[in-house]
Amino acid sequence: MWHIAKRELYDNLNSLRFALATVLLLGLMLTNAAVYLHEQPKRTQKYNAAVTESVNDLTVRADSLYTLAREGPGLLYKKPSSLRFCAEGGEPFLPNVVGGAFLWSISGGLKGFWRLNYPSTTPNLTDIRPNVTKVDWAFIIGYVLSLIAILFTFDAISGERELGTLRLMLANPMPRYTILIGKFLGALISIGIPLTLAVLMNLLLISTSSAVQLGPDAWERLGIIFFIAILYTGLFLALGLLVSTCVSRSAVSLVILLLIWVTFVVFVPSTLASIAGGFSSPMSTDELWQRRGELYAKRWERYDAYFAERVERSKEIQFKGEHVIAEAEEQERVNEEHLAQQIDQVKFARRTTQISPIAIAQHLIESFAGTGFERHLQFLENTRTHARQFRKFIADTDSGDPESSHIIGIRQGMSEKPVSPAAVPKFEDTLNLNQDFNAAMMDLLLLVLLFVVLLSGAYLAFVRVEV
Amino acid sequence: MLTLIRRELLDNLMTFRFAAAVFIMLLLVVSNTVVLIKDYERRLADYNTAVKTHHQQLQEKKTYSAGRLHVDRPPNPLSIFNIGMDKQLGNQVEVYFGFVPTLWDAKMHGSDNPIMNIFSSIDIAFIFKVVLSLLALIFAYDTLAGEREQGTLRLVLTHPVRRGHILFAKYMSAMVCLLVPLLMSVLLAVILLTTSTSISLSTDDFLRMAGFILTTIVYLSVFYLIGMLISALTRRTGTALMLSMFVWGFWVLIYPNMILASILPQPTVEARASSTFNQIEQLWEEFEREQEQYLKNDAVPGEDPGFGIGWVGGSMNRLNKDAATLQYYYKKGFNITEIDERSEPQMPHIQNYYQFLVPLTIDIADRTWRIRKPALEKIYVRPALIDRILLKVSPIGMYDTATQAWVGTDLLGIQDFFSAARQYRKTVIDFFYDKNAFASRQWIAADKGAADWSTLPQFSFQRSGIRINATRALPDIFLLLMTNIVLFIIIFLIFIKTEV
């Protein structure tokens, strides 16, 4: 078997396609590193500046607990991943900030309380540069590597059959599967060599630069991504072998393979996503505004009804506080519902695209690189946790003040003492590998399953093939 | 000659690749057209809602100064062919007398799920530029190398035919073969388009489509000739195929994505933006000074811009500025419902004040625009144009710009809308002048009669005429044609000199 793998390897190493693949991969990986090194420091700087500003704003508001509670924790920013070069993951289209809203005045002389509010448009409205895919690892692996894999295997069996060498090889006393596995390994190694080389060059460039630091966690992630790349290449090699076995002429084999490639790599991830997205229609922004307006009006009706009768002064404050809090909570719930519907639509679309291996691979790379949709969900979850923490902090601080009457939502009912800015919980956007790994396990299994199915398919086809 | 073409044609038509080409093209184009039409219909519905809401909002305003006018950009029905910038850039902009609207001030109406944007969308031009070019190469790689391998080329050349004729026959027949899936798929797309009730197409639109198809054919021929060139250069079909695939991968997948990544934005841009922004700030400081000057010199003592009037109602006083997009404007408006009777003698003064202030604001806004426009061009438009020029090194880039120009979803097409919005601002200002609105009581107060918006001309945006589309598309079509001719000449020269 190793003999055959070695022969394949030598064959490939001398070929034109090997040289072209090496040049292509090296060029892409180096560009990727250069762009990343240019952009990442700026991105981090921007993030840090924004976070500092947000914290400074918080300090201003901390002069009284009431103001702090009313105006909220400020803007919460998504931390840029240090592995952004692995997958862009549609980051430019995803909001990198979750804000809050508070109303300067809601009628009755009351002021609205802070609630979570999610941005409703994409952040790049004024970007007039032509939009092209970013050259990230996900692109290099997903598009280029799969194409190279096809070009390495389309004639693996059919080519030898055309030349007649297959018959010669089968005349030797060895089982057929060794030939197949040998060919597979040979191709895998001969793609693995330029890939490893390119990846190493890329990482060398990135790790030697002082501008970016990759922690031990990042290297772990990179290792996994590399493994995914190899698995994905193997999958396309198996596909190539399968088609090459079934078809008698190399040219036909290539045409079939390219059509499959176009369908799965170009067509499925975008068109199918649009089709799947069309099945659900989440609440539109207009509807959201309408819902909010209705709720707001209803709340005020209740408020007016309450004050239509004479009430005690002490109870009045209590009611007003509850009114303000309930208004904010209601509105936040609608915001959440709106977001949840949007997320469900995207989730469904993403799940549908997973019939294509490239989508699986890209999702995997994204989740290990800490970018993209899954990451965005984590970020949103983090902001929610923070909002809870923040509210708990307000309640705790307030109950710690003996002068306050502990009615949150209104100035008269709350502590007026200044809050130490250091004590206010800080938002920290975190990301852990463990969680990623659990979420990605299904995808990984799916990829392995596809690989096994294709390889055994190729084996079965090859065993039955007449030479 | 004709026999040659016929032979080649029959050869090609009977192959597996021809069937595969037709099948895949139809599948891709039809499924995507359905998706794209649905998407367009949703955007159109959003647009209609937005227009209605904005109209209502305006009618509800009882004073002229509180009137907020928004103009909306309708989605382009031909964006199905090449989406271009149609969906990506803002489609609603505020028209306000104290501010000249640009693309950088636009917002997005509509209620699309923004997160869905993480999926790239495919338009018909994308299918053509990726799949059709691949098919062209698959048809081309063995035209010369294959015949040479089999020895049939020698056989053909023993007959008294010219080599040029052989080349031409091969080229013609393959192009005819490639045109079949192309035209069939476009035909189906057009049928789907015309059967959709929400899309109304004009004669111009059909001419634009014709331009689109023409460009596609020229583009296709470039890729076929590239394939032929490779085929003429190589001895073996295997090598030709391999080279073709790598050339395709390079031009279609790698070059466009890599070139934009590798040119980095110039650092001088930020410096320029801040210096221009300073100039704009100075203009508005001048505005402040003149305003103070007026208040000092007018008949009323004191410098109070409110003239000490007691009123009930709403007011708006907001400064918008953004250094990155050089945006800077004041928004000042009143929506007064009641005026204290004791303040009544002050009213003529305040009316005089606005009669002075508003034209001044307009003037400063116009002067701001004169500074802002070239700066925006330099900071944003020029780099974007350079990007596009770099993309044009690949035939993909030429094709993309040409088709976008045809359907009107290129940057210029979108900017047409903003020039229309700027034009409309002038109309609105004229409307105010006609009504003598600045000096009127209705400018700030609605207590004695509300503002009358009924005679305000409606905004409507017409896409540029076919002639303009054609002028914008022609340079790229010309480039594509030149590439064709050059490639053909090279192939001819090589083929003449090769030994069979």
Query: HSE on the CB side for B318, CA within 13 Å?
Result: 9
Contact B44, B74 (CB under 8 A): yes
Q: Which residue has the tokens 């790599």?
A: A265
| Residue pairs spanning A and B at CB distance below 8 A | 186
Chain A CB contacts of B130 below 8 Å: 262, 266
Model confidence at A95, pLDDT cuts 50, 70, 90, reads confident
pLDDT of residue B111: 63
Q: Is the pLDDT of residue A131 over 80?
A: no
Length of chain B: 500
A270–B120 CB contact, under 8 Å = yes
Each residue's pLDDT, cut to its tens digit, for chain B (500 residues) gives 778 778 778 877 778 888 888 988 998 899 899 989 988 998 898 899 889 989 988 888 888 888 878 999 999 999 999 988 888 888 899 998 888 999 988 888 876 788 888 888 788 999 998 889 999 998 888 888 888 888 887 887 788 878 888 888 889 888 988 999 999 999 999 999 998 888 888 889 999 999 999 999 999 999 999 999 999 988 888 888 888 988 998 888 888 877 877 676 666 677 778 888 999 999 999 998 998 888 888 777 777 777 777 777 777 778 888 888 888 888 888 888 888 888 788 888 888 888 888 899 999 999 999 999 999 888 888 888 888 898 899 999 999 999 999 999 999 999 999 999 999 999 999 999 988 888 888 888 888 788 888 888 889 888 888 999 999 999 999 999 999 999 999 999 998 887 76
Interface test with A, best of B26, B87, B113, B137 (most A CBs within 10 A): B113
The answer to whether A50 faces chain B, any CB pair under 8 Å, is no
Quote the minimal CA–CA distance from A366 to chain B in Å. Answer: 12
Interface test with A, best of B139, B251, B257 (most A CBs within 10 A): B257
What is the β-pairing status of strands B92-95 and B69-72? Answer: antiparallel
pLDDT of residue B488: 93
ipTM of the complex: 0.84
Q: How far is CA B350 from the centre of its chain?
A: 45
pLDDT of residue A467: 67
The answer to whether B260 faces chain A, any CB pair under 8 Å, is yes
Task: Please tell me which of the candidates B39, B113, B246 has its beta carbon nearest to residue A345.
Answer: B113
Q: What is the mean pLDDT of residues A9-22?
A: 87
Model confidence at A108, pLDDT cuts 50, 70, 90, reads low
Chain B CB contacts of A286 below 8 Å: 49, 53, 111
pLDDT of residue B267: 63
Q: What is the mean pLDDT of residues A70-91?
A: 87
Could you give the C-alpha distances from B440 to A249, A448, B449, in angstroms and in order?
85, 76, 11
Q: Which residues of B125-146 are buried (b: 16+ CB within 10 A; e: fewer)?
A: bbbbbbbbbbbbbbbbbbbbbb
Task: Please tell me which of the candidates B110, B257, B380 has its beta carbon nearest to residue A133.
Answer: B257
Q: Which residue of A has its CA nearest to B263?
A: A35
The answer to whether B114 faces chain A, any CB pair under 8 Å, is yes
pLDDT of residue A105: 65
A255–B138 CB contact, under 8 Å = yes
Per-residue tokens: A259: 């059509």
| Other C-beta atoms lying within 10 Å of the C-beta of residue A173 | 5
Which candidate, A266, A233, A215, A179, places its Cα nearest to that of A461?
A: A179
Which candidate, B223, B12, B18, B45, places its Cα nearest to that of B128?
A: B223
| Other C-beta atoms lying within 10 Å of the C-beta of residue B151 | 9
The answer to whether A204 faces chain B, any CB pair under 8 Å, is no
If one compares A361 and A409, the residue with the highest pLDDT of the two is A361
Interface subset of A 409-448, CB within 8 angstroms of B: none
CB burial of residue B167 (10 Å; 0-12, 13-18, 19+)? buried
**Which strand (E) or helix (H) includes residue B411?**
helix B411-435
pLDDT of residue B184: 93
**Virtual torsion, Cα B193, B195, B201, B203, nearest 10 deg:** 100
CA dist B287 and B277 (Å) reads 15
Q: Is the pLDDT of residue A208 over 80?
A: yes
pLDDT of residue B265: 62
- Percent above pLDDT 70 for chain A: 98
Q: How far apart are the first and last CA of chain B?
A: 20
Quote the minimal CA–CA distance from A288 to chain B in Å. Answer: 9
What is the β-pairing status of strands A97-101 and A76-77? Answer: antiparallel
CB burial of residue A359 (10 Å; 0-12, 13-18, 19+)? buried
Contact B240, B234 (CB under 8 A): yes
Which candidate, B130, B90, B76, places its Cα nearest to that of B407?
A: B76
Q: How far is CA B284 from the centre of its chain?
A: 32
**Which strand (E) or helix (H) includes residue B72?**
strand B69-72
CA dist B98 and B94 (Å) reads 11
pLDDT of residue B380: 87
Segment of A437-441, A462-466, B226-230 carrying the highest mean pLDDT? B226-230
pLDDT of residue A96: 86
If one compares B290 and A465, the residue with the highest pLDDT of the two is B290
Contacts of A208 (CB under 8 A, 6+ apart): none
CA dist B24 and B22 (Å) reads 6
Which candidate, B273, B271, B203, places its Cα nearest to that of B465?
A: B203
B246–A151 CB contact, under 8 Å = yes
Contacts of A224 (CB under 8 A, 6+ apart): A368
CA dist B207 and B217 (Å) reads 15
Task: Please tell me which of the candidates B35, B108, B111 has its beta carbon nearest to residue A271.
Answer: B35
Q: Which residue has the tokens 């799920």?
A: B113
- Parse chain B into domains and list their residue ranges: 1-500
Q: Is the pLDDT of residue A317 over 70?
A: yes
DSSP A292-333: HHHHHHHHHHHHHHHHHS---HHHHHHHHHHHHHHHHHHHHH
Which candidate, B226, B211, B143, places its Cα nearest to that of B177?
A: B143
Length of chain A: 467
Q: What is the mean pLDDT of residues A186-215?
A: 90
Interface test with B, best of A126, A343, A354 (most B CBs within 10 A): A126
Per-residue tokens: A395: 């309640």
Biggest CA pair distance of chain B: 110
Biggest CA pair distance of chain A: 104
Query: HSE on the CB side for B216, CA within 13 Å?
Result: 26
pLDDT in tens, A347-401: 999 989 988 999 999 999 998 888 888 889 989 999 999 999 999 998 888 888 8
CA dist A256 and A236 (Å) reads 13
Per-residue tokens: B302: 């004191």
Q: Is the pLDDT of residue A436 over 90?
A: no
Q: Which residue of B has its CA nearest to A342?
A: B113
pLDDT in tens, A223-274: 999 999 999 999 999 999 999 999 888 888 888 998 899 888 878 888 888 8
